[in-house]
Structure 1
Amino acid sequence: MAAPVKRTYTSTLRADQARRTQQAIVAAAARLFVERGWGQATIDAVAEEAGVSRKTVFTSGGGKVDLLKLALDWSLVGDDEPVPLAERPEIAATMRLSDPETFLAGWARILTDINKRVAGLHRVLISAAGVDPAAQTLLDEWETQRWSFTAGSLVPHLQRLGALRAGLPPEQAIDIMWLHGDPIVYARLVLERRWTPEQFEVWLQDSLVRQLLAP
């Protein structure tokens, strides 16, 4: 009976160690991508920053695009747990709100928190997409997922509440929410124009309410 327990214990330790190694590598890659840019954040630099070998970077995280994808995915949800964004407690709670303005206020808060984490990496992705076809594919997938979530969950929720402004086609409402949720908008106002995240959240909520809801 003791042997299986020992094997399970050893396997768990190895899995935990592998996870910590991957976390360190992805965190190092994310820092270097933002600080140095796509071209200067080499695999060798990531390995040195994470304190591992070049081979370990590839076996644990993959190439540069793979590392950028992991960094973006983890930044989107805030951790490396395999739980989709839509199933996160804050998202689920917001999607249950029945007051349209409260719903949009909650979504503005969520978007602001997300963009605090992803805006810098998203700018790196745009830069990488200009020189790397795999990064362009990743950018296309990112935008498709963002639009699909808006079209499949956010605007339909407002429609079920009967809250959309009269004369506003649902397709246009989707585009409005999709545009306002673009990390580029956050980057322009907060990272470049030096708005505070709190100012951005207030502006985002007000903009969504004014453009989407009936007076």
Structure 2
Amino acid sequence: MGVNRSAADGGRRRYDSPLRDQRARQTRQAIVAAANRLFVLRGYAATSFADIAKDAGVARPTVFAAFGSKAALLREVVDQALAGDDEPVPVADRPWFRPVREGRTPRAVLTAYAEVCRIIGGRAAEVFEMVRRAADEGPEPADLWETMQRNRRAGATMVVDLIEALEPEAHGLDHERAVDVVWVFNDPAHYRSLVRGCGWTEQEYTTWLTDQMHHALGAG
């Protein structure tokens, strides 16, 4: 008896699809990793799709098919540097952010947030600096840089909201000024300067950041 071709093909598709998806994801990850390395090393404008394809070990059309444009690839590099992977989970919902939301005192919230800043700084400080420089080279990276600043401010606002919910009089500043303070300190440039530039340990950096935010807010 002959084999039903459509049934056989359907079965192969069912079994092959997860494998294809896995390979496609691995290819995307290789491209993102290559783009991260080259953008940081050479700069955004000086890095081409051909450069990224060569470093990732894929064909140039593969890079274009995966991301469509260099600006879209840059956004993915930033997203993964912040989150640590390609899972579609917001930073605020990550397990390593949870202690910030679970803090029971203003000091506990700031200590946990300083740890978040350390984690992000370790992964993304060089990427932030690269985008900052690229923002002078074209409208798309400039728009991305502005989005990154707004997202940093949103994170600072979340922290201040948590502190004020715990203790309405926890700091001596009005709400927006308190957000300004946390926004200044959550900049990964501080990690880049102190840890990468000055040789501070990560623990020294986290302790310093906690103390500085606590002091600047005038928290009790």
- CA 1:127–1:174 in structure 2 vs 1: closer, same or farther (change >3 Å)? same
1:192 aligns with 2:197: yes
One of 199, 204, 211 as aligned partner of 2:209: 204
Q: Is the 8 A contact 1:163 1:213 kept in 2?
A: no
Q: Is the 8 A contact 2:156 2:182 kept in 1?
A: yes
Structure 1 residue matching 2:96: 3-state secondary structure: helix
Length, aligned pairs only:
214
Q: Is the 8 A contact 2:106 2:219 kept in 1?
A: no
Q: Is the 8 A contact 2:171 2:217 kept in 1?
A: no
1:60 aligns with 2:60: no
TM-score, normalising length: structure 1: 0.91
Alpha-carbon displacement from aligned partner over 1:137-163 (angstroms, at most 9, x marks no partner):
111111112212322x21110001116
Report the equivalent of 2:113: 107
Report the equivalent of 2:3: none
Alpha-carbon displacement from aligned partner over 1:34-55 (angstroms, at most 9, x marks no partner):
1222233222111110001111
TM superposition shift of 1:199:
2.0
- CA 1:121–1:33 in structure 2 vs 1: closer, same or farther (change >3 Å)? same
Alpha-carbon displacement from aligned partner over 1:50-77 (angstroms, at most 9, x marks no partner):
0011111111133322222111101111
Paired amino acid for 1:105: T
1:135 aligns with 2:138: no
Give percent identity, aligned residues only. Answer: 36
Alpha-carbon displacement from aligned partner over 1:164-202 (angstroms, at most 9, x marks no partner):
555311111101111100122222223333333222111
Report the equivalent of 1:48: 54
Give, in whole Å, the separation in 2 of the partners of 1:116 and 1:208.
19
Give, in whole Å, the separation in 2 of the partners of 1:166 and 1:80.
37
| Alignment map for 1:97-176 (pairs within 5 Å) | 97-151=103-157, 153-162=158-167, 164-176=169-181
RMSD: 1.8
Paired amino acid for 2:25: R
Larger Rg: 2
Give, in whole Å, the separation in 2 of the partners of 1:35 and 1:163.
46
Give, in whole Å, the separation in 2 of the partners of 1:21 and 1:57.
9
Structure 2 unpaired stretches of 5+: 1-6
Report the equivalent of 2:26: 20
Q: Is the 8 A contact 1:163 1:214 kept in 2?
A: no
